[in-house]
Amino acid sequence: MTEVKNKQVILRDYVTGFPKETDLKIVEGTIILNIPEGSNHVLLKNLYLSCDPFMRNLMNKKDGPKDTLSYTPGYALGGFGVSKVVESGDPKYKKGDLVWGFTQWEEYSLVPSPKILFKIEHTDVPLTYYTGILGMPGVTAYAGLYEVGSLKKGENVFVSAASGAVGQLVGQFAKLADCYVVGSAGTKEKVDLLKNKFGFDDGFNYKEEPDLNAALKRYFPEGIDVYFENVGGKTLDAVLLNMRVHGRIPACGMISQYNLTEHEGVTNLTSIIYKRIRIEGFNSSDYYHLYPKFLEFVLPHIREGKIVYVEDIAEGLENGPSALVGLFSGQNVGKQVLVVAHE
């Protein structure tokens, strides 16, 4: 039995309001680099961890309905990541395999085999992509637009948090469907990315728009068919006034609300009635059966350079807290990745 040091990022205590770096803590534990006798667990060396907005919700104290989950204070965070198999109790995986799925924020993790979502078969693209365009955010953008959002060719699409892990893909996928696409983001640099790197038709900095309703009317004089919802709150409220009849709102996240102790009230929901709008919350977990089809769609576009993916890469577990916390003030430019080890 080999025991090694195992650095971890743990939750210090449940979080109220905006998370701070000090809500998380780096600790050094140890781990035995062997699978327990008879276990079908898999021992992973974590390479790249994904910083995702939903992780904020897992920092809340669990006191709601039984179907909500939380992190446990004193234990490592969980999240999506790319890992290398060190040893496997499940014959589906063998030493050296690269995989992506749900792992822990630490150097090595012993995980139940079903937490691994997919073996990585294509390594001619950056491995970090499996935390983003080729991972959960990719499936989210794809399923959100096409399945939940029933996107049709040539429609008017608005996406918030548009330069983020999911948003940048939503815009590019919608452009492939000949849609008119506008995104909002929180800095000039991000808006420039939308227009100059991701090929959006237009973009705006929501922080510089005193009247979001007026801004949306300017960019969508004919109204919005599909709003890909990442932020909630005031943006959603303004969007509702600008949706077209039979518009769809695939709701992937509401990051503007996650850190508020009192959520903003959304006042324009009667638009749902008047304009027969569909809002549907979703996450990738209901859509992984589409993953093979999604890879077939997206890999050629990546290889041909027709779809690009911007990542914001932090190096080292000890930078995990700042990388994760930074998401909630929009410090990341593109998909926030945390490197634990380069293989």
Contacts to a copy of itself by CB under 8 A: 57, 64-65, 67-68, 223, 232, 236, 241-242, 244-245, 251-254, 257-258, 262-283, 286
Among residues 53 and 321, whose Cβ is nearest to a copy of itself?
53
Pairing of strands 41-50, 108-112: antiparallel
Among residues 238 and 299, whose Cβ is nearest to a copy of itself?
238
What is the nearest approach in angstroms of a copy of itself to the Cβ of residue 133? Answer: 22
Among residues 2 and 270, whose Cβ is nearest to a copy of itself?
270
What is the nearest approach in angstroms of a copy of itself to the Cβ of residue 201? Answer: 21
45, 189, 282, 333, 343 from 238: Cα distances, Å: 45, 24, 21, 25, 46
Among residues 178 and 274, whose Cβ is nearest to a copy of itself?
274
In b/e form, how buried is each residue of 183-205, taking b as 16+ CB within 10 angstroms? bbbbeeebbebbeeebbbbebbb
Task: From 336, 332, 338, 324, select the one nearest 107 (Cα to Cα).
Answer: 338
What is the nearest approach in angstroms of a copy of itself to the Cβ of residue 229? Answer: 8
> In whole angstroms, how large is the CA radius of gyration of the chain?
20
Among residues 108 and 258, whose Cβ is nearest to a copy of itself?
258
The residues, ordered by sequence, that sit 6+ positions from 137 with a Cβ below 8 Å of its Cβ are 50, 52, 131, 165, 166, 169, 335
Pairing of strands 156-159, 224-228: parallel
What is the nearest approach in angstroms of a copy of itself to the Cβ of residue 80? Answer: 17
Task: From 157, 279, 282, 169, select the one nearest 227 (Cα to Cα).
Answer: 157
> What does DSSP assign to residue 229?
B
Among residues 97 and 280, whose Cβ is nearest to a copy of itself?
280
Among residues 89 and 149, whose Cβ is nearest to a copy of itself?
149
What is the nearest approach in angstroms of a copy of itself to the Cβ of residue 282? Answer: 5
Handedness of CA 50, 23, 13, 164 (dihedral sign): negative
Among residues 4 and 245, whose Cβ is nearest to a copy of itself?
245
The string of DSSP letters for 47-106 reads EEEE--THHHHTTS---S-TT-----TTSB-EEEEEEEEEEESSTT--TT-EEEEEEESB
Among residues 202 and 280, whose Cβ is nearest to a copy of itself?
280
What is the nearest approach in angstroms of a copy of itself to the Cβ of residue 246? Answer: 8
What is the nearest approach in angstroms of a copy of itself to the Cβ of residue 227? Answer: 13
Asked whether the beta carbons of 42 and 110 are under 8 A apart, the reply is yes
What is the nearest approach in angstroms of a copy of itself to the Cβ of residue 281? Answer: 4
Pairing of strands 156-159, 116-119: unpaired
Q: Measured between alpha carbons, how far is 119 from 184 in angstroms, rounded to an integer?
A: 34
What is the nearest approach in angstroms of a copy of itself to the Cβ of residue 245? Answer: 5
